[in-house]
Amino acid sequence: MNKALKNPITYIAFIIPTLLLYALFFCYPVIVSFIYGFFRWDGITEKVFIGFDNFVRLWDDEVFRKALLNNFYFMVFSLIVNIPLVFLISIIISKVRRMRDFYKSAVFVPVVISTATVAILFGVLYNYDSGLINQFIRLVAPESWAREWLSDPKLALLSILIANAWQNVGFFIVLCLAAILNIPKEIVEASKIDGVNGWQETWSITLPLVKPVLFVMLLLSVSGTMKVLDIVQIMTNGGPFQSTEVMATYMLKVGFRSMELGYGSAIGVAMFIIILVLTGILQRLTKSEEVQY
């Protein structure tokens, strides 16, 4: 009976292509990036082993610290702005009786547009003279309120955060909405009989029951914001005056513009470790919380 499914030749033929690709384009770069991290190397001359110097340098590198801080701003923004907004919108969509599918499809539209296109779109929206944002401000407020959104070091990061939120919030709304609609009807009805009102229901019934999906959102936000790259690179490429530099843009600059491949790899390794530690902590924190209906 089991003979057909115990065929070593087919077995090997079926797993080898995957393992080959995986070993070559994934495992090899992972190992090599750790190794590069210990060398000084411009990609042309001989590598020089310098031990932990790259990592020590990272510790003292003002630009890297600035970049890391900006990644944290991304994370904080998505935790205190994006996720509450997602929860609010999802709750409301789950409570309306009609047009639920319409709202769901509409909020998801920005998600299917490529990040490169979103970055260009917002570049146009943020333009000083003719961009939608400033023109709207001129319509409702004095002219002096118009801003150079992307070339003002104080505003550039915020402007990118908003563009990023515009693109990502819909994805999370759909996740969260699915979880809310998955809550068994009996629970909600039972609570209504017990005289629970709308806000109490949201706060003490819905919120605890969708904790697992909130956790998934948290995890995706943390790892997503730590490795954010495309949108920053196209909108400002870290400028003005490195006010929007993030780890990934800095890594590419160090690696490809300054040709410091060793130091660039060290930044990549640091990024990887930071993501692993943060998601590890999150997983530890929420491990004990299981939901039971």
Cα 213 to Cα 27, 42, 83, 115, 174: the distances in Å are 31, 45, 11, 24, 11
- When binding is defined by CB under 8 A, the residue of 19, 63, 69, 80 that contacts another protein is 19
- When binding is defined by CB under 8 A, the residue of 145, 198, 277, 291 that contacts another protein is 198
Find the shortest distance in angstroms from Cβ 270 to another protein.
9
Interface mask toward another protein for 203-242; x: CB under 8 A: ----------x--x---x--x--xx-xx--xx--------
Q: Return the residues of window 126-145 that contact another protein according to CB under 8 A.
A: 127, 129-130, 132, 135, 139
Q: Is 181 in the site for another protein (CB under 8 A)?
A: no
Residue 134 structure tokens: 């400033």
- When binding is defined by CB under 8 A, the residue of 80, 106, 277, 291 that contacts another protein is 106
Whether the CA torsion 81, 83, 88, 90 is positive or negative: it is: positive
Give the integer Cα–Cα distance in Å for 5 and 100. Answer: 47
Phi, psi of 292, deg, nearest 5: -125, 135
Give the closest residue to 270 by CA, choosing from 258, 254, 287, 286.
254
Q: Is 185 in the site for another protein (CB under 8 A)?
A: no
Find the shortest distance in angstroms from Cβ 204 to another protein.
19
The count of residues interacting with another protein (CB under 8 A) is 92
- Cβ-proximal residues to 103 (8 Å cutoff; 6+ apart), any chain: 93, 96
- When binding is defined by CB under 8 A, the residue of 55, 72, 73, 108 that contacts another protein is 108
Per the CB < 8 A criterion, the answer to whether 242 and 66 are in contact is yes
